[in-house]
Chain A
Amino acid sequence: MREHTFDIVIVGSGAGGGAAAKELAPLCREGVRIAVLEWGPRLAEHEYTGREAEMAGKLYFESGGVFTRDRTMTLAFGRAYGGSTVVYTGTSLMIPEGPVKRWGVPGLTWEDLRRRSLKYIRENNVHLLEEERLNDNNRLFRAACEKLGFRVEQFPINVKGCRGAGMCNLGCPNAAKQGTHRVQLPAAEAHGVEVITNCKVQRIEGRGVLRAVVEERPWGLPSPWEPGEHVVRARVVIVAGGAVHSPALLLRSGFGRQLPALGRYFTAHPALILVGEHPRPITNYYGHPKSFYCDHFAERGFLLETCMYFPFVTAKNLIGFGEEHAQLMHRMDRLQMILVLALDEALPDNRVTLDRAGEPVVEYRFSEPVLEALLESMKVSARIFFAAGAERVHAPAGEKFFIERHEQDHLDELITRRRLQPGRISIASAHLMGGCRMGASPADSVTDSWGQVHGVPWLYVADSSLFPNCAEINPYVTIMAFADRVAEAVRARWREV
Chain B
Amino acid sequence: MTPLNEAQWSFLHVVGRRVVPPLAELDDAGRARFRTIISTALADRPAGVQAQIRAFLTLVRLAPLLRWGKTFPQLPAERQGRFLRWLQDEAPGRLRQGFWGLKTLVFMGYYGQAELGPSFAYTPSPTGNEHLRA
B107 touches A312 (CB 8 A): yes
Q: Is A43 among interface residues, defined by CB-CB distance under 8 A?
A: no
CB closest chain-A residue, reference B52:
A71
Tell me if B's interface is mostly helix, strand, loop or mixed.
Answer: helix
A312 touches B111 (CB 8 A): yes
Q: Tally inter-chain residue pairs, CB-CB below 8 A.
A: 140
Question: Bound complex: CA of A421 vs CA of B20, how far in Å?
Answer: 23
The tally of residues in A whose CB lies under 8 Å from a CB in B reads 53
Interface size class on chain B is: 35 or more
Residues of B within 8 A of A421 (CB): 96
Stretch from A21-29, A117-125, A201-209, A314-322 at the B interface? A314-322
- Asked whether A332 and B127 contact (CB < 8 A) given A316-B108, A424-B89, the answer is no
* Chain A 47-61 interface 0/1 with B at a Cβ cutoff of 8 Å (1 = within): 000111100110000
Question: Bound complex: CA of A321 vs CA of B97, how far in Å?
Answer: 15
A311 touches B120 (CB 8 A): yes
Q: Is A426 among interface residues, defined by CB-CB distance under 8 A?
A: yes
Q: Is A323 among interface residues, defined by CB-CB distance under 8 A?
A: yes
- Asked whether A333 and B126 contact (CB < 8 A) given A287-B132, A316-B107, A320-B88, the answer is no
Q: Is A82 among interface residues, defined by CB-CB distance under 8 A?
A: no
Residues of A within 8 A of B129 (CB): 133, 162-164, 286-287
CB closest chain-A residue, reference B101:
A71
Q: Is A96 among interface residues, defined by CB-CB distance under 8 A?
A: no
Q: Is A165 among interface residues, defined by CB-CB distance under 8 A?
A: yes
Q: Is B2 among interface residues, defined by CB-CB distance under 8 A?
A: no
Q: Is B44 among interface residues, defined by CB-CB distance under 8 A?
A: yes
Residue pairs across A and B with Cβ atoms less than 8 A apart, 11 shown, are A53-B40, A53-B113, A53-B114, A62-B44, A134-B132, A281-B121, A286-B128, A287-B129, A319-B88, A333-B121, A334-B121
Interface residues of A (CB under 8 A from B): 50-53, 56-57, 62-63, 65, 67, 70-72, 132-135, 162-167, 173-174, 281, 283, 285-287, 311-312, 314-316, 319-323, 325-326, 329-334, 359, 421, 423-424, 426
Closest 6 CB pairs of A and B: A164-B129, A53-B112, A286-B128, A164-B128, A311-B111, A315-B107
